[in-house]
A and B are shown apart, each in its own frame.
Chain A
Amino acid sequence: MTRVPVRLLPSLVLLHLWVGAAFAETLQETEALVWLQKIANAARQLNYAGTFVYQHGDHVESSRITHFVDRAGECEKLETLDGPKREIIRTDDEILTLDGEHHVVKRERRTRRNSFPALLPDQLSHLTEHYQLRKGDQERIAGYDAQALVLEPRDGFRYGHKLWADVNTGLLLKARMLDERGHVVEQSVFTQLSIGSGVTRPSFGPLPPEWRREQQGPDSAAPADTGWIVKDQPAGFRKIIEMRRLKAGTQTPVAHLVYSDGLAAVSVFIEPLPTTRKVQEGLTRQGAVNIYTRPLPDQLVTVLGEAPAVTVMQMANSVTPRGQ
């Protein structure tokens, strides 16, 4: 340790405190970023099964989810526990959805598993420009000790997030999105959860033979230059991928562009204007996801994302063919 003349000590202590405060924030951000990465990895790499409650507005429902991964690949399942039974099972090469209300089983083949890193490290490094990150308190959730993380947006173009992750594994136990007035937009929380051994590969029960079967795919999505651009996206939203896909069950080509600020993502879909039904311009939402549709003379633009309506609309309104 360096020896310091005693008369300098008071000023050094003050300086140290001042610097310490500024440094603490940076430290918090770095720690929070490491936590985010840990959460994303845990979601993909752990075996877990549990019941969670999903809430948005006055709507509350519970679901059971399982995530299983081994050498054969990943398999995940979600089934609703309230209301009509719906299930979705996803493996590396297909998605099965079971609709117990309308007695339909839909099988969608995929040509590729999501080949995207869970969180884009490049984007993570920009996160602190648009959110203030800090660690919150430790709390107990579903019997696990959880570390809270707070991501406060630095402007009105994105929601705030509060996340609670299992201290030991990093698994997300509770997540809450908040609008700029601090109101909860959407929240999900585990009420019961098992992690690790004891979790087995999920499967459908026997499917009633009289249910209608629908086959789809293979999913055609392929990265491509779609010829479309978003001219006026809010600060921080950068295009992370651009692709062409076929609309489910049809030969209709759809352009799909994804923009993200590192945490929130907004998707832009552009398809030929449907001739079979009248399309309205308008805004709606599903939980925290705002959805805005806007007909162009011969195209239909649909923009959706877990971001405030203003963000989704601003992007929809500036969709243009490149070169115009």
Chain B
Amino acid sequence: MEKISQLMDGEFDEHEARRQIRRLELDVSLVQAWATYHLIRDVLRHETGASSDLAGRLGQRLEHEPTVVAPHTRLPSRLARYSLPLAATVAGVTVVGWLAFTSQSHVDTVRPMAKNNPPAAMREALRPVLPVAALAGSQMDDYLRAHQEFSPTSAMQGVASYVRTVSNEDWDPSR
């Protein structure tokens, strides 16, 4: 677990980091730890607020695994500071001020929608016209597969994302 914490803090060189990531892949509990650490960090860093349930669960987990975050951070005490107000929110209105502050600042930083949209005329002009084969022929499915290895969207689709590389339409008939 300590290794995971060090990995997160970027304390390893490239070789060791890769080794740890491979380890991470093989062990479900390490993956969960990895996810939890980031969740904790994000909650603390962005103060986006979290459900009282979430804070509660994190608190419980930290209690059971006191070494988890100990090596490099002061997470437990900070977490306690946050989870208390969160719990109080549910109970009543005692921390309305705190909430108003956090949610308002959050809304302010996130709200500006469509601040950098592409010009509509440009979007309209972008109609695909060429068959795939005209551009790159049979190598395109190699590129697609290479791409999918790193795409979060593909990661969520799992095996199903391969469908694009075996789809029977639009492919070079000479293959």
A→B interface (CB under 8 Å): 1-2, 4, 12, 15-16, 19, 22-23, 25-27, 29-31, 33-34, 36-37, 39-45, 52, 54, 59, 61, 63, 65-67, 76-78, 80, 82-84, 86-88, 90, 95, 97, 99, 102, 113-125, 128-129, 132, 154-157, 161, 163, 172, 175, 180, 188, 221, 223, 234-235, 240-241, 245, 247-248, 256, 258, 260, 262-265, 267, 269, 277, 279-280, 282-287, 289-291, 293, 302, 304-306, 308-310, 313-314
Question: Main SS of the interface on chain A?
Answer: mixed
A-B contacts, 24 of them at CB < 8 A, read: A25-B107, A26-B48, A30-B50, A36-B156, A40-B152, A42-B158, A52-B163, A78-B160, A80-B168, A125-B41, A156-B117, A172-B156, A172-B160, A188-B163, A248-B139, A265-B151, A279-B135, A284-B134, A286-B140, A287-B163, A287-B164, A291-B140, A302-B143, A305-B151
Contact B136 A302 (CB under 8 A): yes
B→A interface (CB under 8 Å): 14, 18, 21-22, 24-25, 28, 31-32, 34-35, 37-39, 41-43, 45-46, 48-51, 54, 89, 91-94, 96, 99-100, 102-104, 106-107, 110, 113-118, 122-123, 126, 128-132, 134-137, 139-140, 142-147, 149-160, 162-170, 175
Given contact pairs A119-B152, A172-B158, A313-B126, A1 touches B91 in the complex (Cβ within 8 A): yes
Candidates B28, B39, B48; contact of A34 at CB < 8 Å: B39
Chain B nearest CB from A154 CB (Å) reads 5
Candidates A4, A39, A76, A120; contact of B156 at CB < 8 Å: A39
Contact B34 A283 (CB under 8 A): no
Candidates B114, B159, B162, B163; contact of A154 at CB < 8 Å: B114
Contact A240 B110 (CB under 8 A): no
Whole-angstrom CA separation of A118 from B110 in the bound complex:
25
Contact B142 A248 (CB under 8 A): yes
Give chain A residues whose Cβ lies under 8 Å from the Cβ of B107: 22, 25
Q: Residue of A at shortest CB range from B49?
A: A26
New A-B pairs, 12, CB < 8 Å, besides A124-B42, A287-B163, A308-B123:
A2-B92, A22-B100, A30-B49, A78-B163, A115-B25, A117-B34, A125-B38, A128-B110, A155-B117, A161-B153, A269-B146, A286-B140
